[in-house]
Amino acid sequence: MTEPIAFVDGALVPRAQASVSVDDAAVRYGAACFETMRATNGRVFRLLAHLERLHAGLEGMGVEAPPAADLERAVSSALEANRLSEARIRLSVSAGRMPGPDLAATAGPSVVVLVDPVGGGAPLPLALAVASVRVDAGRPLAFAKTVQYLSYLLARAEARAIGADDALLLNTTGSVCETSAANLFVVRDGQLMTPALSSGPLPGVTRSVLLDLAASLGPAAVEQAVTLDELTAADELFVTNSVVGTQPVRSVAHGGSVLWQGTAPGPVTARLADEYARLVSRESGGGSDG
Amino acid sequence: MTEPIAFVDGALVPRAQASVSVDDAAVRYGAACFETMRATNGRVFRLLAHLERLHAGLEGMGVEAPPAADLERAVSSALEANRLSEARIRLSVSAGRMPGPDLAATAGPSVVVLVDPVGGGAPLPLALAVASVRVDAGRPLAFAKTVQYLSYLLARAEARAIGADDALLLNTTGSVCETSAANLFVVRDGQLMTPALSSGPLPGVTRSVLLDLAASLGPAAVEQAVTLDELTAADELFVTNSVVGTQPVRSVAHGGSVLWQGTAPGPVTARLADEYARLVSRESGGGSDG
């Protein structure tokens, strides 16, 4: 395996030496946005949707993002430098150098691209545990993926400490929100639903693709507030993010007992996973279905 | 003026070149704690209280902080390298290198000390504006000063955009919380009060010193939920943090109108500011009162 290479502010450098300024907004205040993306056959799926969300997040901080073409080139060059065609890509752009807490006086957003290999094959079914950490659906820039990520790390650590794979987070009003790294979908009586954005989940790019797929193939998915009671009555659960696409859930624990368990993947999940893989393969110019 | 020097992971380096790894928890997830402290006569006021809060924050992340003696030495060496006896010091310690979102698999917390000069003299009275950004009092690690700081930056930017000096943040239930960088105290009918920790403010080291001073000198301060109505009826308002000590507030704007304005500093504020300066001077081995 070759040495991992990172893209930092226009240069390709060995990842072990790659760094950002101590006065960068990400380091000082967590004022940065990032996107986690998946490359298949060397092509990044829905790159433009990711760049749009990144741009919107930085705009919400009053910061002008680097041109999308520059970010596209950064991603391509990092991918090529690491000689990976199947990869997880993390692109982050900060609010810039910020020697004090003033978003109006920033300079030079840092741009970092990290590339990691990903294995092929279907992802294993997940055991989730409801975390005590809650998400504030009214947080500022809730639509953006910022490095204000501590709550999710703590929730995930809490879930893993009791043997689960990941945390299921509720929002502060008790509605189901998302996992630490993915959106949740619920299948019940042939209906598909996912927590509405007003419940506070990140508007995932894969969530959006799944909503489109479901609308065209049926059953159409409803975006709504989802209660824990509705989870209990679910026939199937799955999560979505850009790296795994779709991933079945096999159980949800809550306060030491099993809230839900079921077939993973169930038939609706399996069908949507198949359609999603087909879509990715088609857009990535692949010859065979994933 | 000499070139600013930063302390990073055991070494003193020119600040312009000082950096942390792109895989550091601060950069990737905002998983780091920091303390802002004030040196007077070359001595850091209440350093141990700051180190205790830092330690508690990292412990809350499941991360073992470097020994306090090491952090004390880091602060001293950065202060000496910058040849400053009156300074603002920023000490930050991250959760360590974290190539993925797993707090149980971190290595080597980054330790960064930045030193900036501060001017002497009494701080100017502040004009505050109530921000639309709210604080979630139930956020995890609410007792810690983490780099999950974006809400405060956004609130501050919102306030400055309408001509105020800083934002006054409410919590999600509408109670008064804190400014973007300081705790608030209210003087009314000879009584002193400050938002209770259950309202969500950071448990400031200076807030704690003021509570002790007020308890011994009178009037004792009450920690309680503070409403905007109570602000309207205030006789005096002031804020506290480690850099300014106490700072009078001259006005509070809310939704385009003036919610409160008053004498700054009022008599209670002036007396407490004087006592605080005397305490700092005494603990810093100074010969005269500040």
Contact state of B146 with A141 under an 8 Å Cβ cutoff: no
Residue A289 pLDDT class (50, 70, 90 cuts): very low
Residue B40 bridge partners (DSSP): B43
Single-letter residue type at A41: N
Q: What is the pLDDT of residue B286?
A: 67
The residue of chain A with its CA nearest to that of B57 is: A150
Q: What mean pLDDT is predicted for residues A64-78?
A: 96
Q: What is the pLDDT of residue B40?
A: 95
Q: What is the pLDDT of residue A122?
A: 83
Is B31 near chain A, with CB under 8 Å? yes
Select from B19, B22, B82, B241 the residue whose CB has the most chain A CBs within 10 Å, as the one to mutate to test that interface: B22
By the 10 Å C-beta count (0-12 exposed, 13-18 middle, 19+ buried), B59 is classed as middle
Residue A92 pLDDT class (50, 70, 90 cuts): very high
Q: Which of B217, B134, B211 lies closest to B170 in space, CA to CA?
A: B134
Residues of B with Cβ-Cβ distance to A20 under 8 angstroms: 19-20, 22, 27
Q: What is the pLDDT of residue A290?
A: 38
The tens digit of pLDDT for each residue in B109-131 reads 999 999 999 987 889 999 999 99
Contact A237, A207 (CB under 8 A): no
ipTM score of complex? 0.95
Q: What mean pLDDT is predicted for residues B43-69?
A: 96
Task: Please report where in the chains the tokens 């150098």 appear, as a residue.
Answer: A97
State how far the alpha carbon of A149 is from the alpha carbons of A30, A194, A262, B85, B290, in Å: 9, 22, 30, 36, 41
Q: What is the pLDDT of residue B289?
A: 43
Contact A218, A164 (CB under 8 A): no
Single-letter residue type at B161: A
Is A23 near chain B, with CB under 8 Å? yes
CA of B54 vs chain A CAs: smallest distance (Å): 15
Residue A105 bridge partners (DSSP): none
Q: State chain A's mean pLDDT as an integer.
A: 95
Residue B32 bridge partners (DSSP): B94
Helix/strand/coil (H/E/C) assignment for every residue in A13-30: EEHHHCEEECCEHHHHHC
Residue B1 pLDDT class (50, 70, 90 cuts): low
Q: What mean pLDDT is predicted for residues B270-284?
A: 95
Give contacts of A 58-77 with B, CB under 8 A: 60-62
Q: What is the token pair recorded at B103?
A: 């707090």
Q: CB A255: neighbour CB atoms within 10 A?
A: 8
The residue of chain A with its CA nearest to that of B15 is: A22
**B219 preceded by a cis bond (ω within 30 of 0):** yes
Is A14 near chain B, with CB under 8 Å? no
Rg (CA), chain B: 19
A154-158, B64-68, B217-221: least confidently modelled range:
B217-221
Select from A22, A93, A171 the residue whose CB has the most chain B CBs within 10 Å, as the one to mutate to test that interface: A22
Q: Checking phi first, is residue A237 left (phi over 0); if not, alpha (psi -120 to 50) or beta?
A: beta
- pLDDT of B145 higher than 60: yes
**Residue A226 — φ and ψ, nearest 5°?**
-115, 125
The tens digit of pLDDT for each residue in B73-111 reads 999 999 999 999 899 999 999 999 998 999 999 999 999
Shortest CB distance from A112 goes to which of B22, B99, B136? B22
Distance CA A5, CA A14 (A): 5
Q: Which helix (H) or strand (E) holds A92?
A: strand A87-94
The tens digit of pLDDT for each residue in A159-186 reads 999 999 999 999 999 999 999 999 999 9
The tens digit of pLDDT for each residue in A229-268 reads 999 999 999 999 999 999 999 999 999 899 999 999 999 9
The tens digit of pLDDT for each residue in A101-130 reads 999 999 999 999 999 999 878 899 999 999
Q: What is the pLDDT of residue A1?
A: 54
Residue A222 bridge partners (DSSP): A193
Is A11 near chain B, with CB under 8 Å? no
Secondary structure class of A180 (helix, strand, coil): coil
Distance CA B287, CA B177 (A): 37
Q: A138-171 as b/e, with b when 16 or more CB fall inside 10 Å?
A: ebbbbebbbbbbbbbbbbbbbbbeeebbbbbbbb
Distance CA A218, CA A207 (A): 15
Contact state of B147 with A29 under an 8 Å Cβ cutoff: yes
Shortest CB distance from B114 goes to which of A15, A22, A157? A22
Q: State chain B's mean pLDDT as an integer.
A: 95
Q: What is the pLDDT of residue A205?
A: 98
